[in-house]
Copies of this chain bind each other. A is one copy, B any other.
Amino acid sequence: MADLIQPRTLKGFRDYLPSLMIPREEILQKARTVYRSFGFAPIDTPALEYTEILLGKGGAESDKLIYRFKDHGDRDIALRFDLTVPFARFAAQHVPTLGTPFKRYHMGPVWRGENTAHGRYREFWQCDFDTIGTTSNSSDIEAALVINALLAAIGFERFEIHVNNRLILSGLLEELGLADKSVAVLRALDKHKSVAVLRALDKLPKIGIEPVVEEMVLHGVDAEKGRKVLELAGFKGTNEEILAFVSQKFGNNPKAADGVKRLSELLIVARESGVPDERLRIDLSIARGLDYYTGTIFETFLSDLPSIGSICSGGRYDNLAGLYTKMPLPGVGASLGLDRLLAAMEELKILGGVQASAPVFIVRFADTPIGVYEKLAATLRAAGIGVEVFIEPKKIGQQLQYAEKRGFRFALIAGPDDFASKKFKIKELATRQEADYDEVIIISQLRTMLGIGLP
């Protein structure tokens, strides 16, 4: 035998074992169901694109982060590093045919050669949804409703969607004569925001705002004006108090007034649609580093684990695909960070650790032909009950050990005599409780025990 090759994955990459893959599939399926229930349609794009498409012409700055190489045709190609850029290319290419508004979701892996500290992976999944081709506030509101429905469907009750509108900040900057410094202010605020999150954790109550002001000053912003920006971004209160504060301070500015109006409408409609009040919080401190957001901004935090950061973020942008088309494509959307969410669920111990993908396990006896068990299994599957027949008639104890280790919920036990008398034993593996049931009621009994009702 030749030397063995060491089986291993690349640094920053990982296998998904069943215990992690089962919840991943469940979350993806729930996301699909929620996105579809709002009329978002699925798309997919290739993992590989021309580097020019992904980075723009030139675009050497992200070089270190992306997996870029020459293919056999000497094309300069790369693996996508997010789903937004491929969607912009997709939109430029297909939206003229598909028409607007175009509502899509897209779920898939992306690749970044990032530093692998802090549990970051170089391959991770994103689940994006966007509505493009409209500036209507209805779409911004819908995005908030989708985020709420998504987290609720995944099983969370305690979470907060932080919402802001860049127009408010833009209005303030206009009033302060700082409109041309907006990028510098955004960068500084982004820093401030992480401070705010740390504060919320009560871990570093004494971090001042001066470092943020200093950063602004470095970029040519007057210190006093910088403090005014932070006074706004740092204002705390109920949603109503925050909106009143903004209106009072500089409500005469048309941009700020528009921002307040859009946020107000969002709050009202969300309440009418049944979103609990405590789940939506206006947070003037969220700015999001990406320069291309221009209106509503979303970040979503788990109340029981805010330190993991936002698990669903997004916002409104003026133009998605300006690199590829002259057609203006304003829109709004957000992205669910699947791997961060799974990490949070692991930390909160709400992943079951189940490896079994079917709930029922059929034990085999050596004296009964496999066909008898497969026929029984086929009957159960036709009634919507997933069932695994063990591959060999090993000792009953060994078979049950396998079933317990994998996390099956019930074992169905029947030997030749039982098939003759038409009685089957159902054993609940966690409690080891068991009882005999007549053949005619076995399906309804299992469906009841599994909580899936009658067929």
Give me the interface of A with B, judged by CB distance under 8 Å. 1-11, 13-18, 21-22, 24-25, 29, 32, 35-50, 52-53, 56-57, 64, 67, 69-73, 75, 77, 79, 89-90, 92-94, 98-99, 101, 103-104, 109, 111, 113, 123, 131, 134, 136, 138-139, 141-142, 145, 149, 265, 268-269, 272-274, 321-326, 355-358, 361, 369-372, 374-375, 377-378, 381, 385-389, 391-392, 402, 405-406
Complex CA distance for A3 and B322, rounded to whole angstroms = 10
Q: How far is the CB of A142 from chain B (nearest CB, A)?
A: 7
Contact status A141-B7, CB under 8 Å: no
Given contacts A4-B324, A9-B49, contact A387 B39 (CB under 8 A): yes
**A386 cross-chain contacts in B, Cβ below 8 A:** 36-39
Q: Which 5 A-B pairs have the closest CB atoms?
A: A39-B388, A69-B69, A18-B41, A16-B44, A13-B46
Q: Are B22 and A357 in contact (CB under 8 A)?
A: no
CA distance A39 to B77 in the complex (A): 40
Task: Please tell me if the beta carbons of B391 and A136 are within 8 angstroms of each other in the complex.
Answer: yes
Q: Give bound CA distance, A273 to B372, whole Å.
A: 8
The answer to whether B109 and A47 have CB atoms under 8 Å apart is yes
Could you list 6 examples of A-B contacts with CB < 8 Å?
A3-B57, A8-B93, A14-B46, A47-B123, A67-B71, A72-B113
Point out the residue from B32, B45, B72, B113 that lies within 8 Å of A15, measured CB to CB.
Answer: B45
Q: 10 more A-B contacts (CB under 8 A) besides A22-B42, A36-B386, A48-B67? A: A2-B57, A4-B325, A5-B53, A5-B323, A7-B325, A10-B46, A36-B357, A47-B109, A269-B369, A273-B374
Cα(A324)–Cα(B49), bound, Å:
33
State whether A10 and B42 are in contact (beta carbons under 8 Å apart), knowing that A5-B57, A375-B273 are contacts in the complex: no
- Interfacial chain B residues near A139, Cβ < 8 Å: 391
Residues of B within 8 A of A24 (CB): 42, 44
Give CA–CA (A392, B134) in the complex, Å. 9
Contact B71 A113 (CB under 8 A): yes
* Identical copies in the complex: 2
Docked-complex contact B324 and A6, CB < 8 angstroms = yes
**Is the beta-carbon distance between A77 and B21 smaller than 8 angstroms?**
no
Give the residue of B47, B378, B402 whose beta carbon is less than 8 angstroms from that of A111. B47
Please, how many angstroms separate the alpha-carbon atoms of A218 and B256 in the complex?
Answer: 83
Residue in contact with A274 in the complex, picked from B7, B15, B375, CB distance below 8 Å: B375
Q: Are A10 and B111 in contact (CB-based, < 8 A)?
A: no
Q: Is B43's CB under 8 angstroms from A16's CB?
A: yes
- A21 in contact with B4 given A10-B77, A374-B269 (CB within 8 Å): no
A356 touches B99 (CB 8 A): no
Q: Which of B14, B29, B39, B385 interacts with A358 by CB under 8 Å?
A: B39
Contacts of A75 in B (CB 8 A): 10
Q: Is the CB of A371 within 8 A of B272?
A: yes
Establish whether residues B273 and A138, one from each chain, have CB atoms under 8 Å apart when the complex forms. Answer: no
A21 — nearest CB in chain B belongs to which residue? B42
Contact check, B131 vs A374: say whether CB atoms are below 8 A apart: no
A369 cross-chain contacts in B, Cβ below 8 A: 269
B94 & A8 in contact (Cβ 8 Å cutoff): no
- Give CA–CA (A79, B326) in the complex, Å: 35
Residues of chain B within 8 A (CB-CB) of A406 are 41
Cα distance, A50 to B9, chains bound together (Å): 7
Whether the pair B15, A46 counts as a contact (CB closer than 8 A) is yes
CB atoms of B18 and A43 under 8 A apart: yes
The answer for the CA separation of A113 and B72 in the assembled complex, in Å, is 8
Question: Given A48-B123, A324-B6, A325-B7, are A43 and B57 neighbors across the interface (CB < 8 Å)?
Answer: no
